[in-house]
Amino acid sequence: MTASPAPHGQVSLEEVKLDVELPGAGHVASPDAAEYALRLGDDALILSQQLGWWVSRAPELEEDMALANITLDLLGHARALLHYAGSASGKSEDDLAYFRDEPEFRCCWLVQQPNGHFGDTIARQLLFSAYQAPLYAALAASDDPTLGAIAAKASREVRYHLEHAGAWVLRLAGGTELSRGRILQSILDLWPYVAELFEDDDLTARLAPATVPLPSSLRPGFEEAVSHVFARAEIELPDVPAAKAAGRHGRHSTLLGYILPEMQSLARRFPGASW
């Protein structure tokens, strides 16, 4: 986008600079690869929008900075993935982020869950990072050079996200009776949304195993990462029914309907603006 004054507060994804050029720039995605990249890009975009709320509200200054860095990491992942997804249709990252309606998004329900109190956010981050870690580790070996390059870069950052969330779970679980009770309840409340992350479907079946890993194959890595934290915190793996989530197919909870208007409002109010 060209450089000109922006509506106050709006950020173009195309101005979120990565520390390297976009992986695989110029490579056009196949329709299936584009749909898959859209799923991962939407996950990262919505979670970055959620985490951005905590900047200036975290319990300590260092945590403000940590969450801001995680937010920017996720926004960088979103930019790369949405750029690649848009290559199949000629759309930009901004087109996909700001000018799609709710049914067109492919994000999982876990990232849509409210920030709630700090323990809710940390529990959500632990579960999602524990999913992303084996996902990107496997995807780095993809025969799709763009997906592989994006995953290789993201994998290094996600390892930090997982360590950060795990350290906070230990801190909260080992703190006061109140903090332990809250983090235990947060994990219990969010666990129903885990199952959706590991559901195979026609798209992943067509792409696996050379291009993407089957989601179901990632469950052992997720459980290993989570169990490592839970064992130290003396937390048992929850045994609760799965939510009937279908975010990968555009069927969302009511929560996304609150997130998108806030994220998209200025871009839609000033269509065609450049900044």
pLDDT digits (tens, 9 = 90+) for 27-42: 899 999 999 999 999 9
- The b/e string for 233-256 (b: 16+ C-beta within 10 A; e otherwise) is bebeeeeeeebebebbeeebeeeb
What global pTM score does this model have?
0.90
Domain residue ranges in the chain: 27-269
Lowest mean pLDDT among 19-23, 121-125, 195-199: 19-23
The residue among 41, 54, 200 whose CA lies nearest residue 114 is 54
At residue 19, the pLDDT reads 43
Question: Rounded distance, CA 91 to CA 114, Å?
Answer: 29
Question: Rounded distance, CA 216 to CA 223, Å?
Answer: 12
In this prediction, residues 177-202 reach a mean pLDDT of: 98
- Identify the band that residue 7 occupies on the pLDDT scale cut at 50, 70 and 90: very low
To the nearest whole percent, how much of the chain has pLDDT over 90?
85
Tell me if the bond preceding 215 is cis, omega within 30° of 0: no
> pLDDT, tens digit, for every residue of 168-181?
999 999 999 999 99
In this predicted structure, the answer to whether residue 16 has a pLDDT above a threshold of 80 is no
At residue 88, the pLDDT reads 97
In this prediction, residues 171-198 reach a mean pLDDT of: 98
Q: Provide the mean pLDDT of the chain.
A: 91
Structure token pair of residue 242: 């799965």
In this prediction, residues 70-74 reach a mean pLDDT of: 97
At residue 273, the pLDDT reads 75
The values of phi and psi at residue 28, to 5°, are: -90, 130
In this prediction, residues 7-18 reach a mean pLDDT of: 45
In this predicted structure, the answer to whether residue 262 has a pLDDT above a threshold of 90 is yes
In this prediction, residues 93-103 reach a mean pLDDT of: 96
The residue among 119, 131, 125, 152 whose CA lies nearest residue 218 is 131
In this prediction, residues 43-56 reach a mean pLDDT of: 96
In this predicted structure, the answer to whether residue 3 has a pLDDT above a threshold of 50 is no
The residue among 31, 7, 8, 1 whose CA lies nearest residue 206 is 31
Contacts of 216 (CB under 8 A, 6+ apart): 198, 199, 200
Question: Rounded distance, CA 12 to CA 93, Å?
Answer: 9
Q: Give the residue ranges of DSSP H helices in the chain.
A: 31-52, 61-87, 93-98, 118-139, 145-173, 177-190, 202-207, 219-233, 256-269
Is the Cα dihedral 219, 224, 229, 235 positive or negative?
Answer: positive
| Total residue count of the chain as it appears in this document | 275
CA dihedral 127, 129, 133, 134 (to 10 degrees): 20
In this predicted structure, the answer to whether residue 98 has a pLDDT above a threshold of 90 is yes
In this prediction, residues 84-92 reach a mean pLDDT of: 96
Report how far Cα 233 is from the mean position of its chain's Cα atoms.
25
DSSP helix/strand/coil, 22:
coil
The residue among 141, 146, 137 whose CA lies nearest residue 210 is 141
Question: Rounded distance, CA 69 to CA 164, Å?
Answer: 11
Q: Which CATH architecture has domain 27-269?
A: Up-down Bundle (1.20)
In this predicted structure, the answer to whether residue 15 has a pLDDT above a threshold of 80 is no
Is residue 122 within 8 Å of 183, Cβ to Cβ?
yes
In this predicted structure, the answer to whether residue 157 has a pLDDT above a threshold of 90 is yes
